[in-house]
Amino acid sequence: MIESTDDGKTQPSVGDVNCHLICTVCKGYLVDATTITECLHSFCRSCVVPHVAEFHQCPSCSVPLSTTKPFSQLRRDYTLQSIVYKMVPRLARNELDRRKQFRQERFAGASKMNNFVEDSKAEECYLQSFFAPNDPISINCEFGLRANLGKDDLSESGSQQQQHRRFFRCPADLPIGHLVKFLRNKFNVTDPATHKLEILYNGRPLAPEYKLSDVAYIFSWKEREPLRLWYRISPTIK
């Protein structure tokens, strides 16, 4: 099924690519996607490792694997896993909650938990970088007198200044075009024929069809602080 967006463009639904996101062993969505290099079939890591250890072959096509080092032909597929998390809302957050609960139940002792602190932080940071459509993203949008500053320049702002910076929370699937319309109405520059209004990130103009989640993915933004955007208004050149 093809879904239509607000601007008339079409995009595939999860159902169109669902067969590529499912592990054929457990019939669930891929978690810790792992690909067999011999045949390029992918599975959940917790599904494929026991199977390969016992049968030394692919669960789907039965291609034979090394009997001495079968795991050398398994590769974690971070690209595929990222696609799964981006296509299936809330899957990454649910997986993060399950892993936290597992660690609390399995490693109740503080001394045991200390061995997993660093791995847990890295894992949590990774899983929290995926957004469901309704997940809130905090954004800060400032007038573009400094819109051409690069990332290094923007990071030099003092912590006290950041504390007083205003921000608001929007759903992750909010298009940049909606922010443009909001700012046009706010500053009474609603006619594109007379004024051009752009929203930028790190000095780069953002396409109106980009969603906030797209910006986060493209620029590897993390939730440590609000997504900092800039806007600039200029007369339209005829």
pLDDT 10s digits, 165-209? 778 899 998 999 999 999 999 999 999 999 999 999 999 999 999
Which pLDDT score is estimated for 226? Answer: 92
Hey, how many other C-beta atoms are within 10 angstroms of the C-beta on 91? 20
| 198 vs 204: CA distance, rounded Å | 10
- Which of 220, 221, 184, 217 lies closest to 199 in space, CA to CA? 184
Q: How many residues does the chain have?
A: 238
Which pLDDT score is estimated for 146? Answer: 47
| 93 vs 70: CA distance, rounded Å | 31
| 217 vs 129: CA distance, rounded Å | 8
Report in angstroms the alpha-carbon separations of 46 from 30, 52, 118. Answer: 10, 11, 21
* Cα-to-chain-centroid distance, residue 46: 23
Is residue 210's pLDDT more than 60?
A: yes
Cα-Cα end-to-end distance for the chain: 42
- Which of 197, 190, 194, 155 lies closest to 176 in space, CA to CA? 197
| 210 vs 58: CA distance, rounded Å | 39
Beta strands in the chain (DSSP E): 2-4, 10-12, 33-36, 42-44, 74-76, 136-143, 168-171, 195-201, 204-205, 227-235
- Mean predicted confidence (pLDDT) in 111-137: 66
Is residue 115's pLDDT more than 70?
A: no
Report in angstroms the alpha-carbon separations of 90 from 1, 24, 50, 76, 235. Answer: 21, 21, 27, 21, 42
Rounded to two decimals, what is the model's pTM?
0.59
Better-predicted residue by pLDDT, 13 or 56: 56
Is residue 147's pLDDT more than 60?
A: no
Which pLDDT score is estimated for 197? Answer: 95
| 131 vs 96: CA distance, rounded Å | 13
| 1 vs 13: CA distance, rounded Å | 6
Identify the helix (H) or strand (E) that includes residue 95. Answer: helix 91-106
- Mean predicted confidence (pLDDT) in 8-26: 81
Is residue 100's pLDDT more than 90?
A: no
Mean pLDDT for the chain overall: 81
